[in-house]
Amino acid sequence: MNFRPSYPIKTERLDLRPHRMDDLDDLLAFHSDPEVVRYVPWPVRNREQVRAALEVKLTQDALTEPGQWLVLAIELRETSTVIGEVLLKWDSDINRQGELGYALHTGYHGRGLAAEAARAMLRIGFEDLGLHRIQASVINGNTASTKLLERLGMHQEAHLIESLYFKGEWCDDLIWAIREQEWRSK
Ligand SMILES: CC(C)(COP(=O)(O)OP(=O)(O)OC[C@H]1O[C@@H](n2cnc3c(N)ncnc32)[C@H](O)[C@@H]1OP(=O)(O)O)[C@@H](O)C(=O)NCCC(=O)NCCS
């Protein structure tokens, strides 16, 4: 497969699009925030570390093989600022499984913007990629994320006890998911 959505993917307030090198300052603003990275698998990053991460993201605007992530910048249309990122993994071809991820600058939390971006990615996953089930993996305690998943119509399927050694301690991993049929009937 060679799946590359036609960009930008427009929602009410957002443009989801591939990253560009000139997004560096916007990314630094949230990649350097301990509150944003607390539950995501990256450290607090300095400018050089953000640059290195951004170089990888520049290549993640299409899916050609299972196991790859589509990683898109969330641009607030009103100001043209990149306020976060939203991710969709094409996990398995035969099983048609996917995985959702997201992170937003704290200054933009509480406005339904992450949910708006995530809904667009679920639509891409189910309608364009033909996925059967999309899951999200959340560190136990990340209530902002589980509230969002609930709002998306996803439900918790598993609570894996101390299955992750995460940022220096053993953590529980919560697996949330939604299947295509459930998503279509919402
Ligand atoms: C997880 C994360 C993306 C959630 O962001 P968020 O802004 O709380 O999520 P939503 O977009 O769903 O917004 C919902 C909030 O906006 C409010 N809201 C305001 N206007 C709204 C609107 N038009 N539509 C929907 N919700 C709206 C809701 O009431 C809700 O507020 P509440 O949490 O106080 O109940 C954010 O906390 C984050 O980036 N965290 C750091 C990274 C991270 O942990 N990622 C997940 C790893 S699994």
Number of H helices, E strands in the chain: 6, 8
Q: Over the stretch 100-133, which tens digit does the pLDDT of each residue have?
A: 999 999 999 999 999 999 999 999 999 999 999 9
Is the alpha carbon torsion for 22, 23, 29, 32 positive or negative?
A: negative
Tally of CB atoms within 10 A around 121: 23
Q: Over the stretch 140-161, which tens digit does the pLDDT of each residue have?
A: 999 999 999 999 999 999 999 9
Q: Which of 148, 154, 174 to mutate to test the pocket of ligand 1 (most atoms within 8 A of CB)?
A: 148
Q: What's the rounded mean pLDDT across residues 10-25?
A: 98
Output the pLDDT for position 52. Answer: 98
* Measured torsion, CA atoms of residues 45, 50, 51, 56, in degrees rounded to the nearest 10: 120
Our answer on whether the CB atom of 90 is closer than 6 Å to any ligand 1 atom is no
Q: What's the rounded mean pLDDT across residues 30-48?
A: 97
Our answer on whether the CB atom of 142 is closer than 6 Å to any ligand 1 atom is yes
Output the pLDDT for position 35. Answer: 98
Q: Whose CA is nearest to atom 31 of ligand 1?
A: 110
Q: Over the stretch 89-99, which tens digit does the pLDDT of each residue have?
A: 999 999 999 99
pLDDT at 186 over 90: no
How far is residue 10's CA from residue 87's CA, in Å, rounded to a whole number?
15
Give me the CATH code for the 9-136 domain, please: 3.40.630.30
Instruction: Share the mean pLDDT of the chain.
Output: 97
The atom number, within ligand 1, closest to the CA of 109 reads 7
